Structure 1
Amino acid sequence: MAVVVGVLAGAVALRGILLPTGPRVLVYGDSLMVESQQDFRDAARRSGAGTIRQKIWSGTAPCDWVDDVAATARDFKPVIAVIGFSGNPRPCMAGGDLVESYRRDVTVMVAALTAAGARVYLVEEPATIRDTVDAAGRTQLGLLWEEIASTWPNTTVVRASLAVTDQGRFTPTLPCEPEEPCGPDGRITVRAPDGVHFCPHPVEPAGICAEYSSGARRYGLAVARGVFG
């Protein structure tokens, strides 16, 4: 049995190991969550998050993680769960329709997480250069997240897409924020040349950017704001 030996600045010293005491946060996601993970983690910790467990990997889809959720929810006992996927097709879909596969698997994930007592946040992904959006700037998956959130208790959509798009519509650049390195036109690149990711000069497979990425930073901060306020 673990023994608490002291409390320091919002953390518990457990047999010499400093453990955060805020709400446990569980994150599932693909490359966009991978690229923005550091900014999300930093903002989450500033907002009082405790242990953050990230189950994120580039190129994955909900079907890659759906069988992991029940055991992780039981063992980790998250208070907050974040799910952020952007539409990767995967062999585990067994050739099925992408949206229907996402609906089925994310619904299973949400059901398991809410049953375990977690508050679930579905992250709306930004439109790619090829996507069409509705009048509110939502992609087909964005509409799916709204549908699922309206069906399940303790489930909310985070419209992080708005931080890196033009009111939901794809744009490669946005006006610079005050602290950013800015071009002569007052704009900065927020999306990768592939029209999907964030890194100005992408790494393969998509991962943490090797240079400053305004898109990754804005997205990670927007996810954190949507979750923690």
Structure 2
Amino acid sequence: MQDELLLIKEKVGQYVDRRIGEFERLGREGRTHYDFRPFLDVDMDTDIFSELCFCILTANSSAVLGIKLQKEIGPEGFMNLSVEELTRRIAEKGHRFARQRAERIVKARSKWPYLQELLASGRKGREIRDLLSDPCSPYKVEGFGLKEASHFLRNIGFKDLAIVDRHILSYLRERNLVPQNKTLTRRMYLQAEQVLERVGEKLGVTLAELDLYIFYLKTSKVLK
């Protein structure tokens, strides 16, 4: 297990390092430029709210579709387009839940000033994750569970959160590192995160980097 990830690290480490740098710049400066080549012929400028919208769009969909929509709609579109126009633009790219995602983006837009305050509060990543995903929290983003909140925070520079999606779960289950349960409860999510922390420690990489390496192992792409 460790050997295969070390080989992948040697093969695509430069692309993972570039992506981590893009994430860090986004969190630090509020904007970044992504270049997904050679894995996807897309490059784009984006901001933090656009990244939040990307994570809303990608849930139960795909990173490739989310990236294409993020480039197509752009930061100004996410912040200003109506529900109807967002729905049309999202549907044109073939997203199955266009109206639902458009509504979630507009709801997140209305909370954005409060979410910005939360992100600037200096709280730890896992505390912010809970506030973004807890249904009882005033900061809850509709459509965000632990996975989506972790995804968003990783993409703006937090390095201590695991994104336990289907690719990561498949990797862990194939190696009998987590139970084969069909339902991913909060307890199981946090257990998987602990397992990934141990894997990362052995490799000398953060959870943010490890996710990108495992994603490459499963998809042959370094995306986000």
TM-score, normalisation: structure 1:
0.27
The structure number with the bigger radius of gyration is: 1
Of structures 1 and 2, the one with the larger relative CO (CA 8 A, separation 6+) is 2
TM-score, normalisation: structure 2:
0.28
